[in-house]
Amino acid sequence: MWGTGSGGLDQPRRTELAGDALSTARLLLGCFLQRDAVVVRITEVEAYAGTSDPASHAYAGPTPRNRVMFGPAGWLYVYRLHGHHCCNIVCGPDGQAAAVLIRGGEVVAGAAEARQRRGDLPAARLARGPGCLTRALGITMADADTDLLAPSGTVRLYARTREPGDISTGPRVGVSRAADEPRRLWLTGDPTVSAYRRSPRAGR
């Protein structure tokens, strides 16, 4: 099914990703991310609403680090956290920064390559958690600012092939501001979804 191309799957239209962060996060569940031979079906996401969201990297406005978030939807925003890479899909209208963090997924192709990067782990753990997901895919800062909808991009996004089923919502993991906002979405009961951990710095 999967090769270095799309495997016959469609890519979403950029206009479909230009909605607000929360609606785009819901749309992305069940979609696919591909880098080389590894393909991950997205099962867990978090929505960040840019300059209106104190937990967003774009809250204080554009910087050299977050500038891609202020551009058109469908681009990849990558940053490092605690030695791991995290990948986000830019959404919203051009000029209004918003992004969806990809927190977890199911490796549906390229499992052998993913295990070379992650170790000999059970399938459900290969891409569970944002740092594990990027490592399984091989995403690094070299992939930052990639157009996910470009045929020649190093990382590509493909539309889901079926409805994702039941979706659960809850607070985002590890954020200290806007910690109780229900902006984390996941496929209910999916074993690749990471555990919730509240930041010790978050207010009660």
pLDDT at 6 exceeding the cut of 70: no
pLDDT at 7 exceeding the cut of 70: no
Mean pLDDT calculated for residue range 6-26: 89
Tens digit of pLDDT for each residue in 148-201?
999 888 999 999 999 989 999 999 998 878 888 999 999 999 999 999 888 777
Spell out where the chain has E strands: 32-35, 38-48, 76-81, 84-90, 99-109, 155-158, 167-170, 184-187
Residues in the chain: 204
- Topology of domain 14-160, CATH: 3-methyladenine DNA Glycosylase; Chain A (3.10.300)
Question: Tokens 């937990």 belong to which residue?
Answer: 55
pLDDT (0 to 100) of residue 151: 85
d(CA 183, CA 22): 7
Mean pLDDT calculated for residue range 123-133: 97
Delimit the domains of the chain by residue range.
Answer: 14-160
Work out the percent of the chain whose per-residue pLDDT is above 70. 95
Band of residue 203 on the pLDDT scale cut at 50, 70, 90: low
